């Protein structure tokens, strides 16, 4: 059920229906026994897409108060700072997100943009080189990780 709500909300966002996705997520959040950081984060994305930056910020900070290492919320706080023109704060959030998961593409790419807007072109170029290397690394490992997941799933099925 949880994944279905997220998938529907993301699909609605992709179609430009941030308001509908937000309502779907609010309804799911109201029924939750425990706070789901993915739902709160995604609702924050919906709020930001609708231009409600303060509401989005509150949601992302709410996630970070319970889960300070949540890379998605850190990235989205960086995105808000970037949209508001605070590129140094955005850079700090993107860097924190990458400390949690160095393979993430979004904060790595947005870090490049932050450096560009701050006029740190050499750092932007170095970050771009890192982005290319990580992207290449991800493409190399992706098939291997998929195979491992399939094997792990088969092992679990055979045990039961």
**CATH for the 69-160 domain, from 1.10.510.10, 1.10.4160.10, 1.25.40.10, 1.10.10.10:** 1.25.40.10
Q: What is the pLDDT along the chain (160 residues), one digit of tens a residue?
A: 557 899 999 999 999 999 999 999 999 999 999 989 999 999 999 999 999 999 999 999 999 999 999 999 999 999 999 999 999 999 999 999 999 998 888 999 999 999 999 999 899 998 988 888 887 766 665 565 556 666 766 776 777 6
3-state helix, strand, coil in the chain (%, to 5): 85, 0, 15
pTM to 2 decimals? 0.81
**How high is the pLDDT of residue 13?**
95
Chain position carrying tokens 């179609």 = 15
Find, among 49, 46, 4, the residue nearest to 28 by Cα. Answer: 4
**Domain residue ranges in the chain:** 1-52, 69-160
Find, among 92, 39, 48, the residue nearest to 67 by Cα. Answer: 39
DSSP code of 69? T
């Amino acid at each position: 059920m949880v994944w279905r709500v997220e998938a529907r909300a993301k699909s609605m966002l992709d179609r430009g229906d941030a308001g509908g996705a937000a309502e779907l997520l609010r309804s799911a959040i109201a029924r939750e026994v425990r706070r789901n950081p993915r739902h709160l984060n995604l609702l924050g994305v919906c709020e930001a897409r609708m231009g409600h930056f303060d509401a989005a910020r509150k949601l992302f900070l709410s996630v970070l108060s319970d889960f300070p290492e949540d890379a998605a919320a850190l990235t989205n706080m960086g995105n808000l700072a970037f949209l508001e023109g605070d590129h140094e704060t955005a850079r700090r959030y993107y860097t924190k997100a990458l400390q949690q998961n160095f393979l993430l593409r979004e904060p790595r790419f947005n870090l490049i943009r932050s450096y560009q807007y701050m006029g740190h072109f050499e750092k932007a170029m170095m970050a771009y080189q890192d982005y290319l290397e990580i992207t290449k690394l991800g493409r190399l490992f992706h098939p291997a990780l998929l195979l491992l997941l399939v094997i792990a799933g088969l092992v679990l099925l055979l045990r039961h």
